[in-house]
Structure formats: C-alpha cells, structure tokens
A and B are shown apart, each in its own frame.
Chain A
C-alpha cells in the first residue's frame, strides 16, 4: 500500500478515536469545562501535560533544528525540559493549593486588583495565540505533504476536529483526548527512531545508538565522529562543537526554561488533579513522558543529518528517490544545479551550495530517507497531527477561559449564571478556532521559532509575577503590575524590532549584549523581577487578607482559601 493510503488509514482511525473520547467526556459544569472537575489522576494528567506540552514544534521541528544546529541545539533540549524542574518546585504545588481555574485568577486574587487580572488575561491570550499559530502551521505542513490536499483544506480539517472536542468537552474532553494523543505521538516518534537506530548501528535503543559505532554499510566508526567529519568536510563546522556565543546559548536556554514554567496552558493542567501531592506527582510523570521524546530527539537529529548527507551529497540528481521529488513539489526541498553537472553539491558555502532543505521536514522525511516501510512513514504523519492538535486544543482552552471566566465573569459581568458563562466559553473557543485557522493558512516564519517567541513573552510576563506572589509575601499589586507590563513590552519590543522593523540588524553584532531575540526573554524576566521588587519596596504592603492567602498556599493540606 502507498504512503498516502496508510496515512489516510492512520489519520482516520486516530481522529475517530479522538471524537469518540470527546463524546464520552462531555462537560456539564464550568468546573468540568475549565479544570475537568479537578478529578484527573496524576498519571493521566502527566500524559495529558506531556501531549499538551509537546507541540508540532517538539515533534516536527525540534530534531530537524538540532540536526542543523549541532551542539547549539541543546538550548531546545535543556530549555524545554529544565523548565519542568522550575514548574514542579516553584509553581505547581502552590497553584494547586490556591485552587482556582486559571492563571489570571491567581494573579487577580493574589494582587487584589482588576487591572492585574486584565493584564494577565491579555498576556495569556497573546502568548497562547503566538503559540497556536505554530501548531496550525505544523498541521498544515503534514496535511499538504502526506494527504496531498492543499494547506487550506488541511487546516480546516484540523480545526474542525479540535473545535468539535474542545467545545463539547472543554478541559474534560481535552484531557482524555490528550492522553490518547500522547500514546499516538510517542509511538509515532519512537518507532522510526528505533528502526533507524537498528539500521545504522544495530542497537534498538536510539539513546545508546547515538553514541555507538556505525554498521559497515554506513562506513563504520562512531556515529558522532563520522558526522563531525562529514559536516566539517562540507564546511558546516564540527557537529559536536558550539558555533553560537556561550552567552547567547545561556540566555536562550534560560528563556525557554522560565517560559515553560510560565506558560498558562501548562500551568492550568495542574489545576485538574485532586490535590497538592498529586500536582507534584503529575509534574514528575509529565517530565518522564516528555523525556522519552526529548532524549530520543538528539539521536534522531544525528541519524537524520548523517543520512541526509550520505544520500544527497555528490549524488546524481536523476537518481534521487521518490521522497525527494515529493518534497520538491511542496517547495520544502529545492535543488538548483549551479555548475550544471547533474549532481547535487550540498555545501555550507552559499555560492556553491545547490540544495536547500527546510529544517521543519527532517523528522517527517527521515523515515523515507532511511527507506523505512510505508506504514512507518504514515505513522509519523499521524503522530505529528496528534502533537499539533493536542497543543492547539490546550491553548484554545486557555484563550476561552481567559475570555469567559477572567474577562467577563470575574471582571465585568459577575452576575452571569454558570450556564451563561459556559456558553460564553464555548463561543470564545469557536472564535479562537476561526482566528487560529486563518493564521494557519497565512503563516509567519518557522514553526519552532514562532513558538520560541511565545516562551520569551511568557517568561517575561508571568513567571516573575507568580513566583514572587508565592515566595515574597510583601509583593504588592503595584510591583507586580509594573513588572509584568515592563517585562512584556521590553521582550515584545525587542523581538518586533529585530524581526520586523530592522531585520538587517538581526545578527550577533546588532544584538544587545549579543543576545538573540530568542533569548531576550531572560533579560525581560530579570528586568520584571528587578522592577517588581523596587516598586514594591516604595509602595504600601498588601492587605492582611492577601497575606493570609499566601500563608495558606504555602502550607500542605487541601483546605481551600475562602
């Protein structure tokens, strides 16, 4: 059977499964809709968090980016996992103890201020929205390549499915579909990785094959040594050495870590477990489930890179396998025979290089490059869709709860009934789906890069406000509000300046202190912290009742604050 037929089968089966789960877990109350009634077991929540968290960027883009970045790609690996340590130790248990529905809920109550709540609503919607664009784009790439429908149709199919289970089930539906999506995506990521590892090194565990010797057919010697040799020969530099400045790698890693801990759609998952102990536990489970993919990704990156160079370099263009021409039709691979010899010269030097490869396709193309069976190739497509849809659903829920719960119910229309609130939440999801779909059809930049900016923004706005809200009893509304505004504006301004206003300056020489726009969130976070602490020092301390909330969330036990 062809790849396309297999893809149809897998996509049809998995989508059917998601819809079935959605029908079984309809939401009856706002508590069901926002936090799945607070009754999700920690293991299931760990899986749902992992699927919520691992987006199209993790699944499709990350290994591809690493295979082009070499050792520098480490900021994605450590940044997107190290943030869970912060989340587990500094945020999750306390926010669960606080026991409300959303991140703006916490900010609004802790800082006793409607302004603070509204700023948090704005930041949550902005961050989630930037993030959702990346997901839709990822889903679009998969549909256009594997189902050979155009991107517009692909995005519309994806959005319809998400809309169906998000509107019907809210958080409850999303949680249980995410558990299923985790299983689909991890299976789809691991199967080809294991196949390729066996093919190239004879070792079925990719994490170990990564450091093992290649089979004779691939030239023998350690994989990484061989890859270092190949890449420096072609002028790309040694794979296992760094090429970016140390401070830039440092700042990007920190921005991704703080951002992970500040992302509203991840934090909100810890409101769904029964108690504080389970919140800690589910953070641990989530990181295990994530680590399975994240320790495999660098191995996949190295395998894919070696394989790509082996296959294409100095090979006859006319002898290229079928996958090559299929990707060419999507314009994600392009060949330009500059010296007219009919062979592909793949080199770092832009004058002589004849091949351009979009980094987003490495994971998707990898099984084909390695010549794996068609069903494995199709499985990867289903996995990528699971990753994109699960994250998109989580983000859309944040947007809808922010609008219905924090913006309308808690800020402007406190008298609406639960039924009306639920209706508004569903309308908000519907509107968010339409806008996200539009952006998916008219996308900006690379998937992982777009997502990296969302992290900078989350890091610079939420992370300090939440951490200070828990660990500094003296922090008041003035400090938190000014800190969030300055952190957000500084980071957003820096990114917009280098990406839209003055892209010519977007290089190491033009950056402030040599920090790229991806890493600027760290500076924004520090700025937010410094400003918050200074302002709080010179303004009145928070009222007794608020200090009592802080004392309450610091203690164990499941009594909720009144």
Chain B
C-alpha cells in the first residue's frame, strides 16, 4: 500500500477492530467464564452478576459492539473518500488520528 490515505485508513481500521475485539474478549471470556464465580458474589434482583453476564449480558454487549463498529467505520470510510478527493485536487492530506 503506497499512498498515504490508504495506509492511514488501514491503520485506523486495525485500531478500531483491535479495541472492539478486546472488549469482546473481556466481556465474554474474562467476565463470562474466567471470573464468573467471583462476579457471582454480586447480586442484582434475582440475578447473580456473573451468571447474568454469561447468559444474557454478554449478548447485549455483542450487539452494541457491532453497531459501534458500523458507526466508526462509516465515519472512517467517509473521511477516506474525502481525503482521496482532496489528494486528487492537489491539497494536503490530513493525518490526525481519526479513530477516536
């Protein structure tokens, strides 16, 4: 990948994917499996916290993660297309962090 906007786009993309996947791993494998007994000592209503995350909470988080991804990537795509146009018209390419 030789041109700057493309490299920039791919790096930002990887950053988004990695941060969302670490949340994915944390909620499912860490909270839902490894630390489930510890979290079970907390209760809300009729649920033990660990049990609830394992059987319901994690699924809600998964849904939210995908929609956050959709939002961030749409924004990133728009920026890339804009940068490409600017590059074509001879203007400078913005290089600030766009994923945050």
Contacts and interface: CB of A to CB of B under 8 A. Distances in A.
B6 to A, nearest CB: 6
A253 interface: yes
Given A82-B28, A85-B24, A291-B60, A71 B66 contact: no
A556 B80 contact: yes
B74 A277 contact: yes
Contacts of B6: 551, 554-555
Contacts of A555: 6, 9-10, 80
B73 A85 contact: no
A232 B47 CA distance: 18
Nearest to A74: B54
Bin chain B's interface residue count: 35 or more
B70 A284 contact: yes
Contacts of B9: 555-556
A77 B65 contact: no
A213 B45 CA distance: 9
B66 A85 contact: yes
A383 B59 CA distance: 23
Contacts of A253: 28-29, 32-33
Interface stretch (A88-96, A156-164, A316-324): A88-96
B20 A85 contact: yes
A315 to B, nearest CB: 26
B70 A210 contact: no
A242 B45 contact: no
A93 B73 contact: yes
B81 A78 contact: no
A223 B48 CA distance: 12
B22 to A, nearest CB: 11
A295 B57 CA distance: 9
Interface string B48-81: 1001101110111011011101100110110011
B74 A89 contact: no
Interface string A276-290: 110011011001100
Interface in A55-99: 66, 71, 73-74, 77-78, 81-82, 84-86, 88-90, 93
A215 B10 CA distance: 56
A298 interface: yes
Bin chain A's interface residue count: 35 or more
Given A78-B28, A250-B34, A551-B1, A222 B62 contact: no
B34 A223 contact: no
A222 B55 contact: no
A254 B59 CA distance: 15
Given A212-B46, A284-B66, A78 B54 contact: yes
Contact of B46 (A224, A277, A281): A224
B45 A246 contact: no
A280 B32 contact: no
B34 A246 contact: yes
Contacts of A82: 24, 28, 58, 62
A74 B67 CA distance: 23
A284 B62 contact: no
A225 interface: yes
Contacts of B58: 77-78, 81-82
A54 to B, nearest CB: 13
A284 B17 contact: no
Contacts of A298: 55-56
Given A78-B32, A277-B74, A84 B62 contact: yes
Nearest to A554: B10
B15 to A, nearest CB: 12
Contacts of A211: 44-47, 52
A249 interface: yes
A453 interface: no
Given A277-B74, A298-B56, A71 B69 contact: no
Contacts of A283: 66
Contacts of A207: 56
Contacts of A224: 46-48, 51
Contacts of A84: 62, 66
B11 to A, nearest CB: 11
Given A213-B46, A224-B47, A551-B1, A77 B60 contact: no
Contact of A77 (B20, B40, B54): B54
Nearest to A473: B1
B46 A222 contact: yes
B66 A225 contact: no
A525 to B, nearest CB: 14
Contact of A74 (B44, B55, B65, B69): B55
Nearest to B6: A555
Nearest to B56: A295
B81 A71 contact: no
Contacts of A223: 46
A84 B63 CA distance: 9
A451 to B, nearest CB: 19
Q: Sort A-B residue pairs by CB-CB distance and give the 9 closest, nearest first.
A: A222-B46, A211-B46, A74-B54, A298-B55, A556-B77, A211-B47, A284-B66, A240-B51, A211-B45
Interface of A: 66, 71, 73-74, 77-78, 81-82, 84-86, 88-90, 93, 207, 210-213, 222-225, 240-242, 246, 249-250, 253-254, 257, 276-277, 280-281, 283-284, 287-288, 291, 294-295, 298, 551, 554-557
11 contacts: A74-B32, A74-B54, A77-B54, A77-B59, A78-B28, A81-B59, A240-B40, A242-B36, A295-B60, A298-B55, A554-B10
Given A225-B46, A250-B34, 7 more contacts: A89-B21, A211-B52, A222-B46, A249-B33, A277-B77, A288-B63, A556-B76
